[in-house]
Amino acid sequence: MQLSIVVPVRNEAENVLPLLAEIHAALDGPQLSLGDFEVIYVDDGSSDATPQRLAEALARYPRLRVLVHRERYGQSAALLTGFRAARGEWIATLDGDGQNDPADIPSLLAARDGAVRGGSVRADLQLICGFRKNRKDAWLKRIASRIANGVRSSLLGDATPDTGCGLKLIARTACLELPVFDHMHRFLPALVQRNGGATICVEVNHRPRTRGVSNYGVADRLWIGVDDLVGVLWLKRRALRPQAKELPRP
């Protein structure tokens, strides 16, 4: 299987069915030649009607798989659950609130295939990050996110202007090599680079939230966690990437 789409959700009942319809519309077109793909929803302990909407969706969409956390563990844990369950060689992620546009997934696939790099594909390319250049959030959220991204980028040197964008495309092999900790999803570019993988950014569409209520406040974007940031800096500095070759048998 070429592609898995992983969508972490918590209390997004109103967005489940509309977003699933958009995902399938974006990827079912014959021009993509994707072959088979799967969509994995990870319900991170929802307390609204999200489980009921996901049960309805399972009856409509044969490609859909649903994994349910017994309680809330956080977005990083939900993504990790999806990564481990995915069968595709590459994994696309997007938020479940409808603000990421599934129609941008083909653009990430095109970037992977070298369409925006002059036709040459980098062998070490492991992560394509969405960049929400024209965000549709309230001004206070935009400012908080800009500050948080600036702090991360300047300290980690990951050359990524928008690590908070939920729309990404990552090689499954890279997912399984990531260090695991809470809030790891905020640092995916730096963590992939730490392991020797290359990352690029692609401008993507961003839409206002029209249904449901955000699970994150301004403080979540601004105060990213000093201990997390220090931990990722330590991981980068202590990274080991030994290379070896096996001697041929005489």
DSSP 154-172: HHH----S-TT-S-EEEEH
So what's the pLDDT on residue 71?
A: 95
**pTM (2 decimals)?**
0.84
So what's the pLDDT on residue 43?
A: 98
Which domains are present in the chain?
Answer: 3-237 (3.90.550.10)
So what's the pLDDT on residue 150?
A: 67
So what's the pLDDT on residue 121?
A: 55
So what's the pLDDT on residue 217?
A: 52
3-9, strands of its sheet edge to edge: 64-68, 37-43, 3-9, 90-93, 168-171, 125-131, 198-203
CA distances from 46 to 50, 54, 87, 180, 205 (A): 6, 11, 25, 23, 27
Q: What tens digit of pLDDT does each residue of 95-120 get?
A: 999 999 999 999 999 999 885 455 55
Q: What tens digit of pLDDT does each residue of 188-217 get?
A: 999 999 999 999 999 999 998 888 676 655
Cα–Cα dist 61/17, whole Å:
10
Ranges 5-14, 38-47, 228-237: which has the least confidence: 228-237
Q: Which residue has the higher pLDDT, 80 or 227?
A: 80
Kindly state the tokens that stand for 2: 């070429």
So what's the pLDDT on residue 229?
A: 79
Cα–Cα dist 229/225, whole Å:
6
So what's the pLDDT on residue 242?
A: 74
Kindly state the tokens that stand for 90: 């590459």
Cα–Cα dist 171/197, whole Å:
10
Q: What tens digit of pLDDT does each residue of 148-193 get?
A: 766 777 777 788 888 889 999 999 999 999 998 888 898 999 999 9
Tell me the percentage of the chain whose pLDDT exceeds 90: 57
Cα–Cα dist 34/27, whole Å:
8
CA distances from 83 to 3, 59, 135, 147 (A): 12, 23, 27, 29
Q: What tens digit of pLDDT does each residue of 61-75 get?
A: 999 999 999 999 999
So what's the pLDDT on residue 100?
A: 96
